[in-house]
Amino acid sequence: MLSKRIIPCLDVREGRLTKGVKFRENVDIGDPVEAARAYYEQGADEIVFYDITASVEGRAILLDVVRKVAETIFIPFSVGGGIGSVEEMRRVILAGAEKVSVNTEAVKNPGIISEGARAFGSQCIVLGMDVKKVSASRQIPSGYEMAIHGGRTFTGLDALQWAIEAERLGAGEICLNSIDADGTKDGYELDLTAMISSHVGIPVIASGGAGKPEHLLDVFTRGKADAALIASMVHYRTHTIPEIKKFLHDRGVKTRMFW
Amino acid sequence: MIGIVDYRAGNLTSVARALEHLRQPCIMSNDFKSLEKADRIIFPGVGAAGAAMADLRRSGLEVHLKKWVREGRPVLGICLGMQVLFDRSEEDNTLCLGIVPGEVKRFPADLRDKDRPLKIPHMGWNGVRFRANHPVFSGISEEAEFYFVHSYYADLTDETWASGWTDYGIRFCVAVTRGSLVAVQFHPEKSGRPGLTLLANFCRWGGCDAQ
């Protein structure tokens, strides 16, 4: 049976981590390649880079980072943030990323999902979703609304309907971020995750709210997630990946324990 | 020198990067004349069987792949590179290379683990039970997991070819070996240290089966 995947997320800007990651002796590392190497060695199942660079120069630096990461780690990794065309996808994939994730770009132009899937296969295309809880209405029957531009703009799009549509268009995976849970460290949004995961046939990566290993246990059981994104809980060394994996393993969640 | 068969089936550079990491010189080519010089062949692939077979026929690689296997040159098929070695594939109803006896089938839509429906593709890390004693799988822990991504699985008609199995709702063959041929369904180049061990073993392997 598949192991539940644990995926550290690194925010990159102009080729540097926006927040340092603390490793041995709690030294702050700003280099995404070194951070990726450290997480790879600690047993990360996959790594996500989210690039918040706007400038053209910054995008070129990103490709250089992707190339170096690909020479350093031998597990899948994905890159997202501002990828708006199949050509940009191609550059990131040829630089060595296994997957690309699209978010705002896919809401504005859903065709990019199907074009990307045709060009590189569905397994390369991750749909990123920023979702906020709202009161259920005729327009938003699930009670969860899609946001774009890093959660700043609301779209009037129902999150569940969008997830189902994206799967139909050829998305291979969904990275589901709860705006309400993000940054709280109070746990993932379990209802949202379980709802989306049980209505699509593609894997769902839960994101937003992880603060302790119990939160991952909850999202893999009640939340029905296939994978979970983690950030500050490992970046600041309040927890480590081996410790989280052991916690899950001891409670009957299948995780990759040997690396 | 290792020849990586490049037949436009997905991004194959990750295999080349893993070999560079292992300090193994390699060339990536779709030209059988260049690959002919290689002393061993890696045949990777991501994508659809129909398009892959069409490209192998067009480029003349079909004939040469069969020849290399027949001649006993070590060949490692990976993912789609394993699937197209079979007689045929349900994907695009494709007639394949016919080197390995059996058929590649789509995972049943109602795939389940007890009462829980399973998602397709089979994507992520899963364990593999290897048949003991094959040099290419030596030194790999029984607890090791490998990275998979596929919607079709290999159904052998002759189980003596099988050298590794995985469970995902059903039990299926994920590694075949015979003579100088080894093929795996997972991606060793994306499977961390156990995957690199497998690739390093293949690079050293003389090509004689331990059977």
In a domain, A110, yes or no: yes
Q: What is the pLDDT of residues A52-86, one digit of tens each?
A: 876 777 788 899 999 999 999 999 999 998 899 99
B86's enclosing H/E stretch is: strand B86-89
**Range A135-156 average pLDDT:** 95
Domain count, chain B: 1
Q: CA A222, CA A225: separation in Å to the nearest integer?
A: 8
B173: Cα separation from own chain's centroid: 11
**Range A180-200 average pLDDT:** 96
Amino acid in position A28: D
List of chain A residues whose C-beta atoms are within 8 Å of the C-beta of residue B44: none
Q: Which residue bears the tokens 């989210």? A: A50
The A-side interface with B (CB below 8 A) comprises 1-3, 5, 40, 45, 70-71, 74-76, 93-94, 96, 98, 120-123, 172-173, 201-203, 226-227, 256-259
Given a contact cutoff of 8 angstroms between Cβ atoms, the answer to whether B136 and B177 are in contact is yes
Percent of chain A's residues with pLDDT above 90: 84
A193's enclosing H/E stretch is: helix A190-199
Tell me if A5 and B125 make a contact (CB, 8 A cut-off): yes
Q: Exposure of B109 by Cβ count < 10 A (0-12 exposed, 13-18 middle, 19+ buried)?
A: exposed
Query: In this predicted structure, which of A46-55, A155-164, B150-159 has the lowest mean pLDDT?
Result: A46-55
pTM of the model: 0.95
List of chain B residues whose C-beta atoms are within 8 Å of the C-beta of residue A172: 121, 123
In a domain, A258, yes or no: no
Q: What is the structure's pLDDT at B10? A: 66
Residue A123 has its nearest CB partner, among B18, B20, B121, at: B121
**The domain containing residue A94 runs over which residues?**
5-250
CA atoms within 13 A on the CB side of B52: 28
In a domain, A17, yes or no: yes
Domain count, chain A: 1
A214: domain CATH number is 3.20.20.70
Tell me if A96 and B13 make a contact (CB, 8 A cut-off): yes
List of chain B residues whose C-beta atoms are within 8 Å of the C-beta of residue A173: 123
A45 in catalytic set: no
DSSP A100-120: EEESHHHHH-THHHHHHHHHH
In a domain, A192, yes or no: yes
B50: domain CATH number is 3.40.50.880
Tell me if B119 and A76 make a contact (CB, 8 A cut-off): no
Given a contact cutoff of 8 angstroms between Cβ atoms, the answer to whether B176 and A104 are in contact is no
**The domain containing residue B188 runs over which residues?**
2-204
Tell me if A121 and B144 make a contact (CB, 8 A cut-off): no
List of chain A residues whose C-beta atoms are within 8 Å of the C-beta of residue B24: none
Tell me if A1 and B141 make a contact (CB, 8 A cut-off): no
Give A120 to chain B, closest Cα distance, Å: 6
In a domain, A255, yes or no: no
Q: How many CB pairs under 8 A join A and B?
A: 81
In a domain, B178, yes or no: yes
Q: Exposure of B171 by Cβ count < 10 A (0-12 exposed, 13-18 middle, 19+ buried)?
A: exposed
In a domain, A34, yes or no: yes
List of chain A residues whose C-beta atoms are within 8 Å of the C-beta of residue B167: 1
In a domain, A257, yes or no: no
Strand A153-158 with A144-148, pairing: antiparallel
Query: Could you read off the pLDDT tens digit of each residue along chain B, which spans 211 residues?
Result: 999 998 876 668 899 999 999 999 999 999 999 999 999 999 998 888 998 999 999 999 999 999 999 999 999 999 999 999 999 999 999 999 999 999 999 999 999 998 889 998 899 999 999 987 899 999 999 999 999 999 999 999 999 999 999 999 999 999 999 999 999 999 999 999 999 999 999 999 988 754 4
In a domain, B209, yes or no: no
Q: CA A129, CA A103: separation in Å to the nearest integer?
A: 6
Q: CA B177, CA B161: separation in Å to the nearest integer?
A: 6
Q: Is the peptide bond before B121 cis (omega within 30 degrees of 0)?
A: yes
Residue B126 sits at the chain A interface (C-beta within 8 Å) = yes
Question: Quick count: other Cβ atoms within 10 Å of Cβ A54?
Answer: 11
- The residue annotated as part of the active site, out of A130, A158, A182, A218, is A130
In a domain, A259, yes or no: no
Mean pLDDT, chain A, rounded, equals 94
The answer on pLDDT for A243 being more than 90 is yes
